[in-house]
Amino acid sequence: MLLASKIALRARHESDVPVLQTELYDDVATRSRADSRPWRPISPGSAESPYAVAAPSDEAACFSVVELPSGELAGEALLWGIDTHNRTAHLGIALRPTFRGRGLAREVVGALCHYGFTVRGLHRLQVDTLADNAPMIAAATGAGFVLEGTLRRSAWTYGAYSDEVVLGLLTEEWTPGRRGPSGE
C-alpha cells in the first residue's frame, strides 16, 4: 500500500468493482471524457469491466484510491502503457463524484509518481487529458508535470472533437514528497 496524508493506493478488491462500475463507468458522459475508447454497455460483474480485478500486468498497474482516515473508496488510479524498455508510462486517475474537489487528486498523482519513479524505476511519466480538464491539469502541474503540447481536436468526446494536452515529468525533475507519499 502507498500512503500519503489524505489517501492510500492499494490493490483493487472485488468489493470495489460494483462501486467503480456504477459511479465512474455507467456515467456515460463522464466516462467518455476519461477514456479514448468508445463507451459501451457492460453488465455488472462482467470480466470486461475496466475495474475487474485482474492478475498483475507488466503493462499496467491498477490501484484503488482510499480516503484516509475514513477508509472509504474514493476512486481509481493507474499507470498504463508501461514501457519497460524506454522506462515510461502514462498516468490516470478517476475519483468518485463525492470525493472530487477535496484536494485528493494532487496526492493521488504524487503517490503514482512515487510508485512509477521509486518503485518501478521509470524515467518519464505522462498525462494525456482533455484541455478543459482543469482539475487534472492542476493536479499534474502541482506534482511538477510540465505542459508539453496540445493535440488539436484529437479526441472524439461525446459528440464533438476536443483538444487534448500532454504533460510530462522526468524522474530528475520530480521532487519526492512534493504532494505524494509520506510513507509506505
CATH number for 76: 3.40.630.30
Does residue 111 form part of some domain?
Answer: yes
By mean pLDDT, which of 86-100, 112-126, 165-179 is the weakest?
165-179
Residue 156 φ/ψ, nearest 5 degrees:
-85, 110
Mean pLDDT, the chain, as a whole number? 93
Mean pLDDT of 21-43: 92
Does residue 9 form part of some domain?
Answer: yes
Residue 69 confidence (pLDDT)? 86
Residue 183 has pLDDT above 80, yes or no: no
Residue 78 confidence (pLDDT)? 97
- Please tell me the total count of domains within the chain: 1
Q: How far apart, in Å, are the Cα atoms of 167 and each of 74, 91, 116, 149?
A: 24, 10, 15, 7
Does residue 179 form part of some domain?
Answer: no
Residue numbers of the domain that contains 49: 2-173
Q: How confident is the model at residue 178 (pLDDT cuts 50, 70, 90)?
A: low
